Structure 1
Amino acid sequence: MKKDIHIISVCLILLFLWIGCKEKKIELGKNASFDKEENIHYGNSDKQVMDLYIPNKKTNTKKEVFIIIHGGGWRSGNKSQLTFFTLSLMQRFPDHIFVNMNYRLASATQFGLPNQAEDIRKVTELLKNKLGYHPNLILLGNSAGGHLSMLYAYQFDIDKKVKAVINIVGPADLSDPGFGNYQEYSFVEKRLVDPAVPKKGTTRIDFASPVKWIRENSPPTLSYYGNSDHVIPSTQEKILDSVLNKNHVIHESYPFNGGHLDWDKQPNDEFLINKIEAFLKRLTKK
């Protein structure tokens, strides 16, 4: 009997630990409390996992969702790189839902696109099923994640659920001669896009360039670029702003002091969050 009780006790402890790992409450301040689910699978690949943060305060309001997309040159990186920044955003936006996602990486045996855009779509489908409604989205990414945020919003968002794009040091025009100096450009040319996907007359580089897909109904975009970035040339920001202007798309662009990886260091990170908050308020008033 004692042995049975011991076994039951151990099983209950393991059950509670399992539940605790799957879903946790995160307290980020007086008014910022979230339920967290880690490593939710949204596909069959071990890369297709995401962390989900839902405000603990229950309301009937349909909440908007931040989808956070990491960088890494399309073939490396992990959502853990943006966990701390995601938590900082959650403190400022306690009424929003947050997703911090991984995606399938490009490699010598797997193209980046359209897989990576498809992964964003799969995340939106999971959210729709889980929440019971199709939420408006704010896509935020850095570097390759900034690129994917723009590309998905401008080209792949068939349902037009992307409310805004927050592009942090993301390449916008891969055909820009300045970007051709990117040390991994040969990989971009050969492995970023599946050659079977672009329609006839569209090059793989144009297919993967967000600026080629900007139209008048493209979502508002806020961009953040370093003034001493040796990875993304300053011409990228100028080209993006020019095309957004030409198509009368609401946009803002800000510089920060530093290189490609300095955007989330103080005081750059706080400045960015302030600008995101003001930008989203501007869109709400629109």
Structure 2
Amino acid sequence: MYGAIEAGGTKFVCAVSDDSLNILECVSIPTTKPSETMKEVFAFFDKHPVDAIGIGSFGPIDINKNSKTYGYVTNTPKLAWKDYNFVGEMKKRYQVPIAWTTDVNAAAYGELRKGAAVGKDSCVYLTAGTGVGGGGVVNGQLLEGFGHPEMGHILVRQHPEDTYKGNCPSHGNCLEGLAAGPAIGDRMGKRAQHLAEDDPYWKIQAFYLAQAIVNYTLILSPEKIIFGGGVMKQKQLFPLIRESFKEQMNDYVPVPDLEDYIVPCALEDKAGVTGCLLLAEKELNK
């Protein structure tokens, strides 16, 4: 059996599966402070012993196995979790292999193996919701190095009709500061889901997301770009993003057909958990 923890900023989703990765049990736990949230995580896995666990966590996190703080949540704005030794606390309780990456990297891996990028060797997964985050898989391997990708914090050019200054506490008008759900609400005075489908603002939103994936395309040349997150439930965004991507890329490099290249996630809210289970299986079989 395999275990999964999708550790999000709002909730933790814990799941166990059989050896064929069929989910047998799944629970949602509020993300409060470690002493409260982890108590429930431990209670779940105490009841459901597993052979390996995959964890995809909100970040930033330390994924460098040569680091003294490998397995920690590091410089997170969720102050109760700052410098929390996540993997260390799990290993104290469960002597099983543990895979450790970001929640968006886990979602990218899930989409590659079981979702919108099945049959491909590479993809980028970008989520736009409470924040903006991205993960990637290149040649079948998670995109990681000294650290992990922070794709939501790339610097982007301001849309000429957008006077909003951005709300990222670290970077102001980075991608997340301009295009995450709270930035939309702050700018427009209402949440994204309450804007009309034909609101002119959506072209500005599409401009920022398209600009980001032009950058990812030029750097990583993935075979598929997949969008998830609450903001991306606005399906009218997809044709606008493709149109803006085409305009901004300006035929500089060849890309797949845009209808097949820029797509919504196929696993929807299960992408992260699915990726975590797959990573647990991979870790056990190393």
TM-score class, shorter: 0.3 to 0.5
Greater relative contact order (Cα < 8 A, sep 6+): 2
* TM-score, with structure 2 as normaliser: 0.36
